[in-house]
Copies of this chain bind each other. A is one copy, B any other.
Amino acid sequence: MQRDVCTQVEEFLRERHYKLTVPRREVIRILHESHTPLSVQEVYQQLQDIKADIASVYRTINLLCELGVLTRLDFQEKLYRYELSDPFTPHHHHLICKKCGNIENVFEQCLPAGFEEKIRQRSGFAIESHILEFYGVCETCSEQATSDP
């Protein structure tokens, strides 16, 4: 059975001699428990009882991004969203509905084998990661569009 992801992240930080403070643990927990990527404001709002400052949320999220623990995503809203990165969550992509804004994950489908290697051969560019997001209309919204003229 897989070890708890929060513990993994905490060990990752401990190994690098970062202190495991309450605000940091909470930010990690909130991001881990969320099924969709969260904005800074959303993380801050979910802190509730733990009275951490928004400056600490920013500092924690920036730190985790620099360390590669978090990936920052842009879904064409007026904010950034964050989620745990590849080592701490299964590799996946997103479907973003242009109508309702809902975000779904796609785990099954990724770039075909050799795709990045072909690019390296042509450009000499050594690819380490990619971001792939799909925009469209989700099933629910397209059904509504058909019934509501």
Interface positions of A (Cβ within 8 A of B): 72-74, 76, 80, 95, 97-98, 104, 106, 108-109, 111-112, 115-116, 118-119, 122-139, 142
A127 to chain B, nearest CB (A): 4
Q: Do A130 and B134 touch (CB < 8 A)?
A: yes
Q: Do B123 and A139 touch (CB < 8 A)?
A: yes
Q: Do B115 and A109 touch (CB < 8 A)?
A: yes
Pick from B123, B128, B130, B135: contact of A127, CB under 8 Å: B135
Residues of B with C-beta under 8 A to A118: 109
Known contacts: A131-B132, A134-B130. The answer to whether A97 contacts B115 by CB under 8 A is no
Residues of B with C-beta under 8 A to A111: 111
Q: Do B74 and A97 touch (CB < 8 A)?
A: no
State the CA gap A127–B97 with chains docked (Å).
9
Q: Do A125 and B104 touch (CB < 8 A)?
A: yes
Residues of B with C-beta under 8 A to A131: 131-133, 135
Pick 7 A–B contacts, CB within 8 A, sort by A.
Answer: A73-B74, A106-B123, A109-B115, A116-B134, A128-B136, A130-B135, A131-B132
